[in-house]
Amino acid sequence: MIIYAKSNYLNPSAIEAYETPIKMIIEHTCNTLERSNSIAKTLFNFEKSNRYGETIITSLGFDTFSAVSEGEAPDSEIVCETFSKFIEHIQFMKEFVISAEMMEDATLGLAASAKQRAESFARAYYKTINKICEQALINADRSTMKYNDKEIDLRTIDNLPLFHSGHYWGTNEIENLSTQSNYFWGDIFNHGSADNRTPSVEVFEEALSNLSIKLRNMYNDRGEASGYNADTIILPGNRPIAEILTKKVCGSLGAIPPAYSGVSAHFGAWNVVILPNWRTNDDRVMIMSSEANKELCGNMLFNRIPLTVSNWVDKHTGNYIWNGRCRFGVGFGNYRHIVLAIDSTSAVQNASKM
């Protein structure tokens, strides 16, 4: 969605010939990118907002139905709040300029340079959304990250970073809350000593199964296994061996190794996402349940103000200026939907052993 503000023309007859084609270029580029399967759309929940920020509240939820005798009423159950998380909206802006000389000399339709700037302008909007969502996940083992000079909160409902070994579960009425981890270290892609690590399909298949079970058995606030099945693997963009092993395990119809009878337990069960700007010195993997991500409000993007475009002619220079503005908030409303693991034989800060 794009909102166009009313133009403030100084010379409508000279400008109107450029406004319509530039708007069409911006709209066409945005529609094309909107339909594409972007990182943000794949890994984050998009919601509209009409407030300064949004608060995500987790509740204890209903327990099972009670068995009652004939004619009796069931016990009344009150759903109580457990934790809450506030996500603040941030303002983003960009503009581009078409010089007076370019407008004067572009006698044969829209100048190529103006067309290129309009397309790049629209792409920059979606690039901003994707970059912030991507960087939020990449840096989610810490409490905050910087985007330009703005600090973005990466903590989840229990005031800890998204990935942490000591996440709380329970209710605020419990004095000593129990903890659980969604951040692990151990053999994932390789086996052997620290000096001699050998990539192994079998090791990754076992690690993937173990991590899936850990996510499925994550406790809700009643202390029950959540039961969500992981279906998304997220990998760094600079670790080819991790990508190769993942594709072998997830793309093999038969069991691994081939000497085993039966079919692969992972064939057709995973969506593999590569984060191009996730650059690591070691092998890492995230696994996520898209169902849990949606139902638990895990990775969230709240769209407060969509791309709003206005244009005008500068009085001093005669240049044609196009300005874009938007506001949105990115954050994490839960931690039970996703797991991070690092292929390491030694302990990692804030991570627990697999």
- pLDDT digits 0-9 by tens, 235-294: 999 999 999 999 888 876 656 665 555 566 777 789 999 999 999 999 999 999 999 999
Residue 232's closest CA among 41, 48, 56, 85? 41
User: Per the domain annotation, does 287 fall within a domain?
Assistant: yes
37-56 pLDDT per residue, tens: 588 889 999 988 888 778 87
Whether residue 188 is contained in a domain is answered as yes
Distance CA 87, CA 301 (A): 9
Instruction: Assign 105 a pLDDT band (cuts: 50, 70, 90).
Output: low
Residue 302: give the domain boundaries.
Answer: 2-58+83-173+184-353
- Give me 9's structure tokens: 């023309």
Provide the pLDDT for residue 328: 92
Domain count for the chain, please give it. Answer: 1
Query: Which runs of E-coded beta strand occur in the chain?
Result: 2-4, 45-48, 53-59, 81-88, 90-98, 144-147, 150-153, 167-169, 178-180, 183-186, 190-191, 198-199, 232-236, 271-275, 284-288, 299-313, 320-332, 338-343, 352-353
**pLDDT value at position 124?**
83
Say if CB 187 and CB 203 are below 8 A apart. yes
- The HSE-up count of residue 234 (CA atoms within 13 Å, CB side) is 25
For residues 147 and 132, the answer to whether their CB atoms sit within 8 Å is: yes
- Pick 270 or 177 by higher pLDDT: 270
Q: Does the residue 8 lie in any domain?
A: yes
Q: Contact at 8 Å (CB) between 143 and 153?
A: yes
Does residue 70 belong to any structural domain of this protein? no
Q: What is the mean pLDDT of the chain?
A: 81
The answer as to whether 331 is a domain residue is yes
Q: Which residues contact 317 (CB under 8 A, 6 or more apart)?
A: 99, 100
Is position 73 within any domain? no
The CB density around residue 281, as the number of other CB atoms within 10 Å, is: 8
Highest mean pLDDT among 165-179, 194-208, 277-291, 298-312: 277-291
In this predicted model, which residue has the larger pLDDT, 75 or 3? 75
> Tokens for 230?
């992981």
Stronger pLDDT, 109 or 268, i.e. the higher one: 268
Residue/partner pairs of 193-196 with CB below 8 Å, 24 or more apart: 193/345, 194/345, 194/346
DSSP 352: E
Between the alpha carbon of residue 22 and those of residues 27, 137, 293, 328, the distances in Å are 9, 34, 38, 25
Q: What residues contact 13, with CB distance under 8 A and at least 6 apart?
A: none
68 inside domain: no
Residue 69 lies in a domain: no
Give the CATH number, domain containing residue 259. Answer: 3.90.1690
